[in-house]
Chains A and B, each alone.
Chain A
Amino acid sequence: MNTILEARRINKYFRKPVLFHVLKDINFKINKGEFASIIGKSGCGKSTLLYILSTMDTDYEGELYLNNQLITSQNNDYLSHLRNKSIGFVFQFHYLLSEFSVLENVMLPAKKLAEKSIQEIENDAMEKLKILNIEHLALKRASQVSGGEKQRVAIARALINSPSIIMGDEPTGNLDSHNAQNVFNIFKELSETQDLSLLIVTHDEDFANKTDRIIHMEDGGILAD
């Protein structure tokens, strides 16, 4: 099996207000096409771990590999490019640019990557919106669509550059059970049909139980995998 993401001996400390050892020797791998979830209680460090894996947080010890390439201590521009091209994000609070239309939100990462023409990007974006059944919202402002729809827009945006892995920080945490189920189904389908790797942080046990693999965290360490 192809390894997409690998963490080796990740340690992280919070220095303020007092020195605190948040993550203790984290080691794990995510394979291609795997749908994994990290669960644990509040404060166990699961979100902290996700932000390290996402390359946004660079203040840690240990080594991180994406597609078998070491990405620890690379410069910020390289990491930005990597996030743009290889990692898709879905957050708890949707995080769309509220002043842009749904379509523009989805197109933005691809425009930044600038590997395709605007026309191609627009076609791709419409295709992703179709996959998620929200193509009718394309020209609406991001601030005018409902919470569940926003989350689907965020997923479409995460998919636009065909990333190696999608990471989610409680993507269903802010949704009702119907929409949460919807989002799960979308993830599941992406994982099965497009062989996409997913790593979702959640504290929703039901959600986690339906994934391929559950990583239990407690007190900054992996309790069970």
Chain B
Amino acid sequence: MTNWSVILGIAKTHLLTKIKSTAVAALGVTFGIGSYITLVCFMTGLNGLLDDLILNQTPHIHIYNEIEPSKEQPISLFDELSESFNIVHSIKPKLSQAKIHNALPIIKYLETNSNVQGALPQIKTQIFYLSGSIELGGNLTGINPMEEVQFNNMGDYIVEGSAEDLKNTENGILLGIGIAKKMALKVGDRVQVSPVNGGVFPLKIVGFYQSGVSDVDARQSYATIKTVQRILGEANNYITDINVKLNDMELALPMSKKIEQQFKLKAVDFKTANAQFDTGTSVRNLITYAVSITLLIVAGFGIYNILNMLIYEKMNDIAILKAIGFSGRDVQLIFMSQAMIIGFVGGVLGLLLGYVLVSIIGTIPFETKSLPSVETYPVQLDPMFFVIGFVFAMVSTFFAGYLPSKKAKIIDPVKIIRGQ
């Protein structure tokens, strides 16, 4: 039978009369939890930013026609030599078309899949930007501007002009900002481009594109699919790439395998395309958690230390409580509840402190050329972090209080009373 009101009453009196050490212990927890929340929200915010940087520019599944040698050379089909050892030197890649055969029906088919948010056709081609006698090599990609904005956050990377302008302008081009700088071009100017197979086409600049990667910005431009088809002199079913955006990113790998089999095309999922990025994310997460746990353990030792001291100071009280009929368990509960109260108060204050700090960080301006859409430091306020922080505060104070209170439980009152 435990008389909680008496035990909590004694715990409360102990804590209030030693308000300074109580405050120090609680502040230890507060700073531990507060810095955990700050760190984890800030780090995951940054991680999210870096992930977006990659993911926005990498489709979940990228479908295209790969130029590669045939897997089976004709000699292996010849039965009479099937038992022999054949070596074919100087294999050349097979001549195949760059366009995806039946691209439009494939897109329609993909869009019926419930996991597919959108399947976006693209035409990728090499061109030259002409400025007088200077020819600059580059890439021109034909896109459906509004779909790209909707599914791939293209809008974030258009620094001047807009996707709508691109859509509405006949022979418009969204020029990479690096090219614009090199050639001293402004929005509204005309730029001449020449495809690899010849011809010169003047295009009107409707805006600038900045991905943040300067190598890309110095080469990459966008135009509508129609414009690109006209430049290349191809029919309106000429599509070289399909980018698929999924609802569940994790299904990208199995789906890409299925598409490869079904359509005899190359389909690459974003994880395969960005293997190094995945490693980077997990290492950053690891560092975040290592630092957070260290902070919380330090806070735990603070509580342990202060409770230990408190129990040494309260030896007489422990002896007298035991003499007047409190059991060892009651005494242990008195000190455990002190630890838990410290943990609770410190933890809640820590969550508040963390929230305030994160909110402040979230308003600090953070401008970088490579990320035109970001204006303040990125933070991620996930309620889960607050739950974890609070649970850890309670668990660490439980353990920090357990050992000293265990000692209080087994103290022999006779030794203390006689030792006086």
Do chains A and B stick together as partners?
yes
Q: Mark A194-216, 1 if CB is under 8 A from B, else 0.
A: 00000000000000000000000
Stretch with Cβ within 8 A of B (4 or more), from A2-10, A26-34, A91-99: A91-99
With both beta carbons as reference points, the residue of chain B lying nearest to A141 in the complex is identified as B17
Residues of B within 8 A of A76 (CB): 327-328
With both beta carbons as reference points, the residue of chain A lying nearest to B420 in the complex is identified as A93
Residues of B within 8 A of A56 (CB): 322-323, 413-414
* A84 close to chain B: CB less than 8 A: yes
* A223 close to chain B: CB less than 8 A: no
Stretch with Cβ within 8 A of B (4 or more), from A61-69, A109-117, A124-132, A144-152: A109-117
Residues of A within 8 A of B13 (CB): 99-100, 104
Contact B418 A84 (CB under 8 A): no
* B186 close to chain A: CB less than 8 A: no
Q: Mark A58-97, 1 if CB is under 8 A from B, else 0.
A: 0000000000000000001100111111000101110111
- Distance of B38 from chain A, by nearest CB (Å): 37
* A47 close to chain B: CB less than 8 A: yes
* B320 close to chain A: CB less than 8 A: yes
Kindly state the separation between the CA atoms of A113 and B324 in the bound complex, as whole angstroms. 10
- Distance of A116 from chain B, by nearest CB (Å): 12
Contact B14 A51 (CB under 8 A): no
- Given A56-B414, A111-B6, A114-B3: A99 in contact with B17 (beta carbons within 8 A): yes
Q: Mark B5-19, 1 if CB is under 8 A from A, else 0.
A: 110011001100100
Kindly identify, within residues 92 to 122 of chain B, every residue whose CB is under 8 Å from any CB belonging to chain A: none
Contact B324 A84 (CB under 8 A): yes
Contact A112 B17 (CB under 8 A): no
Residues of B within 8 A of A84 (CB): 324-326
* B284 close to chain A: CB less than 8 A: no
Contact B324 A112 (CB under 8 A): yes
**Interface Cβ pair total, 8 Å cutoff:** 72
* A188 close to chain B: CB less than 8 A: no
* B231 close to chain A: CB less than 8 A: no
Contact B326 A112 (CB under 8 A): yes
- Distance of B288 from chain A, by nearest CB (Å): 43
Kindly state the separation between the CA atoms of A176 and B390 in the bound complex, as whole angstroms. 55
Kindly state the separation between the CA atoms of A112 and B326 in the bound complex, as whole angstroms. 7
Q: Mark B301-338, 1 if CB is under 8 A from A, else 0.
A: 00000000000000011011111111111100000000
Residues of A within 8 A of B14 (CB): 99
Kindly state the separation between the CA atoms of A109 and B319 in the bound complex, as whole angstroms. 14
Q: Mark A142-177, 1 if CB is under 8 A from B, else 0.
A: 000000000000000100000000000100000000
Question: A85, A91, A96: which contacts B417 (Cβ < 8 A)?
Answer: A91
Contact B417 A80 (CB under 8 A): no
Question: B321, B325, B328: which contacts A81 (Cβ < 8 A)?
Answer: B325
Residues of B within 8 A of A111 (CB): 3, 5-6, 9
- Range of interface residues on A (Cβ < 8 Å): 20 to 34
* A108 close to chain B: CB less than 8 A: yes
Residues of A within 8 A of B417 (CB): 51, 91, 95, 169
* A192 close to chain B: CB less than 8 A: no
- Range of interface residues on B (Cβ < 8 Å): 20 to 34
Residues of B within 8 A of A99 (CB): 13-14, 17
Contact B324 A89 (CB under 8 A): yes
Contact A80 B325 (CB under 8 A): yes
Contact B325 A113 (CB under 8 A): yes
* A57 close to chain B: CB less than 8 A: yes
Kindly state the separation between the CA atoms of A82 and B327 in the bound complex, as whole angstroms. 10
Kindly state the separation between the CA atoms of A89 and B322 in the bound complex, as whole angstroms. 11
With both beta carbons as reference points, the residue of chain A lying nearest to B413 in the complex is identified as A56
- Distance of B404 from chain A, by nearest CB (Å): 19
Contact A109 B17 (CB under 8 A): no
Residues of B within 8 A of A54 (CB): 323
Contact A97 B320 (CB under 8 A): yes
Residues of A within 8 A of B322 (CB): 56, 80
Contact A95 B316 (CB under 8 A): yes
- Distance of B34 from chain A, by nearest CB (Å): 30
Question: A77, A85, A112: which contacts B6 (Cβ < 8 A)?
Answer: A112
Contact A95 B327 (CB under 8 A): no
Residues of B within 8 A of A81 (CB): 325, 327
Kindly state the separation between the CA atoms of A76 and B89 in the bound complex, as whole angstroms. 91
- Given A56-B414, A108-B6, A114-B3: A85 in contact with B327 (beta carbons within 8 A): no
With both beta carbons as reference points, the residue of chain B lying nearest to A109 in the complex is identified as B324
Contact A112 B414 (CB under 8 A): no
Kindly state the separation between the CA atoms of A26 and B326 in the bound complex, as whole angstroms. 28
Kindly state the separation between the CA atoms of A51 and B319 in the bound complex, as whole angstroms. 13
Kindly state the separation between the CA atoms of A113 and B417 in the bound complex, as whole angstroms. 23
Kindly state the separation between the CA atoms of A100 and B334 in the bound complex, as whole angstroms. 15
Contact B330 A112 (CB under 8 A): yes
- Distance of A147 from chain B, by nearest CB (Å): 14
- Distance of A50 from chain B, by nearest CB (Å): 10
- Distance of B318 from chain A, by nearest CB (Å): 10
Contact B6 A95 (CB under 8 A): no
Supplied contacts A99-B17, A111-B5, A112-B325, 13 more A-B pairs, CB within 8 Å: A80-B327, A80-B330, A81-B325, A92-B420, A95-B316, A97-B320, A97-B321, A99-B14, A108-B6, A111-B3, A112-B3, A114-B1, A114-B3
Interface residues of A (CB under 8 A from B): 47, 51, 54, 56-57, 76-77, 80-85, 89, 91-93, 95-97, 99-100, 104, 108-109, 111-114, 157, 169
A-B contact pairs, 8 of them (CB 8 A): A76-B327, A80-B326, A80-B330, A83-B323, A83-B324, A97-B10, A99-B14, A157-B324
Q: Enumerate the 6 nearest inter-chain pairs by beta-carbon distance, A residue then B residue, closest first.
A: A84-B325, A80-B327, A99-B17, A83-B325, A111-B6, A109-B324
